[in-house]
Amino acid sequence: MLDRLDHYLGPLERSLSLRARRSEVLASNIANADTPNYKARDFDFRTALDRAGSARQGLNLAHTDSGHLDSRNISQATAGLQYRNPMQASIDNNTVEVDVELAQFSDNAIHYQADLAFMNARVRTMMSAIQGQ
């Protein structure tokens, strides 16, 4: 039964933690808006969510020889991060466009709140099912 509860809340939990991660990436972009040579980064939310949903551990490379690289050692933190293509290049090689980043940050914050609202509704539904009133 608890396993079903996990299935019931799991997708939203994954979405919430990915949203939190994305807010971190976007916050770095905005914080470094004036840093020379900084390259703005982001990740595709849909792809990341699909990947998180299909395989929670991620795919590991076959490791049949001691000389092979162990893919588990590759940092998962930067996996899937891509560089943004600036619309107007700046003279100090910084690719942060503050308006784009702020728009994405607000969009991300709103989606985070939406996920929280859905999560709250699901918890309420479960509570009323448990109480059986």
Partner 1 sequence: MGLAAVFDIAGSALAAQSQRLNVVASNLANADSASSADGTPYRARQVVFSARPVGASSVGRGVRVSQVIDDPSPARIVFDPKHPLADAQGYVRMPNVNVVEEMTNMISASRSYQMNADMMNTAKTLLLKTLSLGG
Binding site for partner 1 (CB under 8 A): 16-17, 20-21, 23-25, 27-28, 30-36, 38, 77-78, 81, 98, 102, 105-106, 109, 112-113, 116, 119-120, 123
* Of 6 and 24, CB closest to partner 1: 24
Please state the closest distance from residue 86 (CB atom) to partner 1, in A: 17
Please state the closest distance from residue 59 (CB atom) to partner 1, in A: 20
Please state the closest distance from residue 31 (CB atom) to partner 1, in A: 4
Cβ burial 56-79 (10 Å sphere, 16+ → b, else e): eeeeeeeeeeeeeeeeeeeeeeee
Helices (H) and strands (E) in the chain, counts: 3, 2
Helix (H) or strand (E) holding 82: strand 82-83
* Of 60 and 120, CB closest to partner 1: 120
* Rounded Cα–Cα distance for residues 85 and 81 (Å): 13
Please state the closest distance from residue 37 (CB atom) to partner 1, in A: 9
* Of 63 and 107, CB closest to partner 1: 107
* Rounded Cα–Cα distance for residues 84 and 105 (Å): 14
